[in-house]
Structure 1
Amino acid sequence: MAVLTAPTIGWHVAWLEAHAEWGPGVHEDGFGLLPGDDVKSQAGFAAWVGRLTDDQQCTYWWIVESDKVLGGIALRHESHPLVSQSGHLGYGIRLSARGKGVATWAVARVVEEAHKLGIDEVLAVCQSYNTASAKTIERQGGILDKTSQESAVLRYWIGTSPPRV
């Protein structure tokens, strides 16, 4: 059974395994990884994890099961400068864990967290070609913003009032 956990240095090896599945240079949503982050060395990984856990405008979780990192999910708080462009939610699931309901489960948990923070609606954004992500958002009650229907980027609003699936 998957759980959400705060990023810690103890997941270094498992995180690197998940990271390797994405391949070099590929963006991994939900992890807060920046191009200059050194995640391979212990010191660099620790510095990156420290930056994530110290972030006051975004909360990060890793989606883990047993000894594997399945993905990452982030909740940008209302004060975060990227909310209007990239939404409140960012998530990514490693290739081998896709199609198993992991993202749907994680999004539901994080929408609950948004409710606890007093966020009434979260904005979830995905590329129009990303049908799997669109379906994940729709399963959580995401309502397509009419202004994005003809766009390359779909913008959905999800109410945070319980209950969640």
Structure 2
Amino acid sequence: MPALIPPTVDVHASFLRAIEEHRAEGRGLPADQTNIGMYIRTYDGIWESLEGFSRFVADVRAQEREDTPRPPGFVPTTSLWWVEGDEYLGRLGIRHRLAPGQIGERNGHIGYDVRPSARRRGHAAAMLAAALPIAGSLGLPQVLITCDHDNEASRRTIERNGGVLHDRLDEKLRYWLPTA
């Protein structure tokens, strides 16, 4: 059964296969401002070796610490991977607080990605359900989660987990979810 775990080198090979799936759907291009896109642009050519992948894992895990240097507008984030055995299925990030300004209002507290070959199997809904108590333990009694207005799958995932539509900001639907 899959579980949310801290990033680990144990899934190196399957993580790289997942990244190739993401690349095949166009992720990693300069316009892709998602975590997966930024990971590809930053670590491509580095994470192929176990040493480079270990560095990537350490860098991702360091982002949950308040004192870790990060770009302007970024906040401490706990990253978790959805894994079954040694198979990487997806990632989820819990921002410890909303980023300042409209960035936080558009991105919310939690973002997630499921690798293309694992989609449409309920992984996103299960990941989000598993993440809510973790967000609560970080001091967040409720979380803001956003999705594009035309992303029916993400909208259903959020609503299945108790999300209540708050409003629409440009192309983003904004939902609040209780963490307990």
Q: If the TM-score is normalised by the length of the shorter chain, which range does it land in?
A: 0.7 to 0.9
Q: For 2:41, what is the secondary structure of its paired residue?
A: coil
State the distance in 2 between where 1:79 and 1:127 align: 18
Consecutive unaligned residues in structure 2, runs of 5 or more = 66-75
- 2:20 counterpart residue number: 20
Question: 2:130: which partner in 1?
Answer: 109
Instruction: Please say if 1:120 is aligned against 2:141.
Output: yes
Give 1:18 deviation, angstroms.
Answer: 1.2
Give the counterpart letter for 2:47 in structure 1: V
Q: Which residue of 2 aligns with 1:49?
A: 57
30-39 or 126-135, which deviates more: 30-39
SS at match of 1:145: strand
Partner of 1:137: 158
Q: Which residue of 1 aligns with 2:9?
A: 9
Q: CA deviation at 1:66?
A: 2.3
**Which residue is equivalent to 1:97?**
118
Q: CA RMSD in A?
A: 2.1
Give the match for residue 83 of structure 1. 104
- 1:58·1:80 contact (CA, 8 Å) conserved in 2? no
- Asked if 1 retains the 8 angstrom alpha-carbon contact of 2:10 and 2:86, the reply is no
**Offset at residue 30 of structure 1 (A):** 5.8
Q: Percent identity among equivalent residues?
A: 35
Aligned partners of 2:119 and 2:62: how far apart in 1?
29
1:80 Cα deviation (Å)? 4.6
CA distance in 2, matches of 1:9, 1:90: 22
3-state SS in 2 of match to 1:70: strand
- The TM-score, its normalising length taken from structure 1, stands at 0.86
Residue 84 of structure 2: aligned partner: 65
State the secondary structure of the residue aligned to 1:129.
coil
Structure 2 SS opposite 1:78: coil
Contact kept in structure 2, 1:63 and 1:106, CA below 8 Å: yes
- 1:30, 1:72 within 8 Å by CA — same for their partners in 2? no
**Residue 30 of structure 1 contacts residue 73 of structure 1 at CA under 8 Å; is this kept in 2?**
no
Q: What is the alpha-carbon distance in structure 1 between the residues aligned to residue 2 and residue 109 of structure 2?
A: 22
Verify the 8 A CA contact 2:148 2:172 in the aligned structure 1. Answer: yes
Are 1:33 and 2:34 matched, yes or no? no
| Contact 1:75–1:89 (CA under 8 A) maintained in structure 2 | yes
Give ranges in structure 1 of 5+ residues lacking alignment.
Answer: none
TM-score, normalised by the number of residues in structure 2: 0.79
Query: CA distance change for structure 1 residues 102 and 45 in 2, over 3 Å: closer, same or farther?
Result: same
Aligned 8 A contact 1:137 1:156 in 2: yes
